[in-house]
Chain A
């Protein structure tokens, strides 16, 4: 056999091996993350229970319900609206594995955009998984992309026309769950997901709802509590509660003319009082250096440290970095503060939840200490 044929066969074989390995890794992201709910879990279901069109699709996701012995308000928490913002997802997992509800109900959707957990964003060099040491050994979780997987929803339009507002956004935003509310039952997969969440809020008579996010350190709404106008007083009280434990938060109002956002559409179209919180996540930032699992977990980056030192731009980046435990801790403490403020404002139907780790506890012991 001529030498060129042997070379060609070897190259072909190498391509097959690399493709097989890549395919195995890629399809591995379809394996669901393990969440081990606290014994107080009352029942679990799927988002498709609220909109059957989601059943069997890549967007269907777990819904965990915890009911208290006494009647009270219903609290909905969304993690993983953007699967590349792990503090929101992990805060929801921490709640799922630790809480006990005394009065009212807690409904958790830890991975609201399940489809987005099955692929990372192109050209970002993101890790696909991260591991956290726990008492029972290391546990692995997926790190996904900002929107739904293109395998599940394709193609993106050049311009995304938000339904029903007609607001024009970049085409890629058509897969962004937090631009898709209120959604529609026969729309894109992301719109169907948004519709199912709206249905859940209505059918379960959710009274207070929180959507957890992260953002690049240079985004101005970091460490902000965003509220619909009907939640202003509760949010202001929560900011004071957070200040009491040494956490600074900026209070921000949900814009009325920016449609599709959870805090806008949930507030306008349901009886729930919605809030959204953001923490600083260097792995999403444009200034970041090496993109790695270490950056995701430790949140330390030499370029952000340099930018902080130069002081030429406004960034939210602590000298010691923005580790996952701090970011998850800010979210859990934020939830504690919001529930306290909500219960003060609605003593007739409080939602009393025990077992949510505080910011200090997460800083002291790490996220793994609160996972099974």
Chain B
């Protein structure tokens, strides 16, 4: 029942348009969309579920590499460190940083637009996560951030410094609104 309500609210939110904090004009984000993690948190699953619920088709590869970008128009990076996630992926934090760095570099070469979706709030902030957060945010063309993750202005400051449009949303479910608008 609750899930039905969530779907209903997501659908409703996606029809009433974005409540972007920045209200900047967004660059066009096109399909095909590839979703990947930066830090191997399971938030990447949440991102995939959000896309599914708003009808945006996406492929999710938590460990995507440059070679996975063939034909991809938009790369969505979901940053956030998880020691359990790294364990699940059988990789180390340093290896993960290298992978993400390489992926961003490949995306730039192939002119794939980068969208950052930070869903994990406080749990995906702090020294372990922020290297991933910064790397992804600085490379992005747009950010959608759940408010709790930007309480200290971390993402807002990067957005301001690099002139990157940013949407700050109250909750994970609210991220559906700007996300949906970006792919219309």
- Pick the contact of A229 from B2, B5, B86, B88 — CB < 8 Å? B88
Given contacts A233-B49, A314-B126, contact A253 B42 (CB under 8 A): yes
A250 CB–B CB distance under 8 Å = yes
> Which of A227, A244, A257 meets B2, CB within 8 Å?
A244
A251's nearest neighbour on chain B, judged by CB, is: B42
The answer on a CB contact under 8 Å between A220 and B49 is no
Closest to A239 in B: B46
A240 touching B90, Cβ below 8 Å: no
Known contacts A232-B42, A340-B3; A248 and B87 CB within 8 A of each other: no
Give the number of residues in B that approach A within 8 Å (Cβ atoms).
33
Chain A residue nearest to B172 in the complex (CB): A243
Chain A residues within 8 Å of B124, by CB: 250
Contacts of A336 in B (CB 8 A): 2
Q: Are B45 and A235 in contact (CB under 8 A)?
A: yes
Interchain pairs with CB closer than 8 A, number: 93
| Minimum CB distance partner of B53 in chain A | A240
For A371, list chain B residues within 8 Å (CB): none
| B84 contacts partner chain A, Cβ-Cβ < 8 Å | yes
Q: Which residues of B, 103-146, contact A by the 8 Å Cβ criterion?
A: 120-124, 126
Given the interface pairs A239-B172, A240-B49, A243-B172, the reply to whether A255 lies near B84 with Cβ below 8 Å is: yes
Q: Is there a chain B Cβ closer than 8 Å to A46's Cβ?
A: no
Whole-angstrom distance between the alpha carbons of A223 and B82 in the complex? 14
B7 to chain A, nearest CB (A): 9
CB neighbours of A344 from chain B (8 A): 3-4
Give every chain B residue within 8 A of A279 (Cβ-Cβ). Answer: none
A248 near B3 with CB under 8 A, answer no
Q: Scan A310-345; emit 1 where CB is below 8 A from any B CB, else 0.
A: 000010000000000000000000001100110010
**CB-CB < 8 A to B96: which residues of A?**
none
B16 on the A face (CB < 8 A): no
Residue pair A255, B126 in contact (C-beta under 8 Å): no
Known: A251-B42, A251-B43. A341 touches B84 (CB 8 A): no
Q: Are B84 and A340 in contact (CB under 8 A)?
A: no
Partner of B6, one of A241, A248, A255: A241
- Ordered by A's residue number, 12 sampled pairs between the chains whose C-beta atoms are within 8 Å are A236-B48, A237-B3, A240-B3, A240-B173, A241-B3, A243-B172, A248-B121, A252-B42, A253-B40, A253-B42, A258-B87, A344-B4
